[in-house]
Amino acid sequence: MKTTTPQTAAAQAESDALRSPAAVPNSLLNDTAERFAGYAVMGMPFSSGSYLAFRRFPASSIGPGYHAVWLRSPEQQWSVYADAPPELSCARYFGAALTETKYSPVSAEWIGPCQLTVRVPGVVHWELEMRATVSTAAVTAMARRMPPSLWRNDRVLGAMGTLMGPVLGTGKLSFAGRVPNGQSFQAKPLRVWAVASSRASIGGVDAGVPRPLPQQDRLADFWLPQRGLFVAELDLRFPSTASVEGPTTAVPRKESRAS
């Protein structure tokens, strides 16, 4: 039996998007929720107080697929760099909590089956190595056996977060709730790996070694894990969308186009 690696899981997500009409799988189109499919580094805290996260959604029900890097400074200010406009990427949901959002090139290069390098030119150079552990294998096995209907039950997803956080050593985890712009979300990751090692430079400065933040951070109901996790076969749903005119559609406080 062929072993699925982070690289092959990512390649499958890219291939699935390309095979579907308009690069959107039918499962995303046949749903009234706004949906995204792909893979992600849920987050990684560093000893400098910086925090990084990565999202790659080759399939989107609302626009083109995109890459995004989330960056928290030691001063606890959040920025998002994405290669799709803010209204079609992470800032659509998290903009109210951001100090800045930038429409910028973002790249992800697989160096090996478990080695990934993420770059935002002139801003972030981030290297990661993933591995399977007993805990991640158990969580993956459980996730893949769950009936699809349970992935749309917020109470079940809440219980999963309560259970999986301690098992994975990440602190609190959330698979359902509300994001800063007011929409509800449901996350369905079917494969999980631990980040075994990571190093990053931010603005040319070493981010330090991976280390939990003194206090776990969150963006509304979305908790940022205190340990690096890579997830694949990720389906992210937003069952309710914010009103076009209400405060829940708050835009980032600063938006710019990176050169």
- Return the number of other C-beta atoms located less than 10 Å from residue 113's C-beta: 12
State phi, psi for 258 to the nearest 5 degrees.
Answer: -75, 145
pLDDT recorded at residue 257: 60
pLDDT recorded at residue 258: 56
Flag whether 36 is in a domain. Answer: yes
pLDDT recorded at residue 240: 83
Flag whether 259 is in a domain. Answer: no
pLDDT recorded at residue 31: 72
Flag whether 137 is in a domain. Answer: yes
Flag whether 26 is in a domain. Answer: yes
Look up the domain containing 179 and give its range.
6-251
Flag whether 144 is in a domain. Answer: yes
**Each residue's pLDDT tens digit in the chain (259 positions)?**
578 999 999 999 999 888 754 445 555 556 788 999 999 999 999 999 999 999 999 999 999 999 999 999 999 999 999 999 999 999 999 999 999 999 999 999 999 999 999 999 999 999 999 999 999 999 999 999 999 999 999 999 999 999 999 999 999 999 999 999 999 999 999 999 999 999 999 999 999 999 999 999 999 999 999 999 999 999 999 998 743 333 333 344 455 565 4
pLDDT recorded at residue 30: 65
Flag whether 79 is in a domain. Answer: yes
pLDDT recorded at residue 1: 59
Structural domains in the chain (count): 1
Question: What is each CA distance from 199 to 109, 116, 167, 249, in whole angstroms?
Answer: 15, 11, 24, 35
State phi, psi for 55 to the nearest 5 degrees.
Answer: -130, 135
Flag whether 109 is in a domain. Answer: yes
pLDDT recorded at residue 149: 93
Flag whether 257 is in a domain. Answer: no
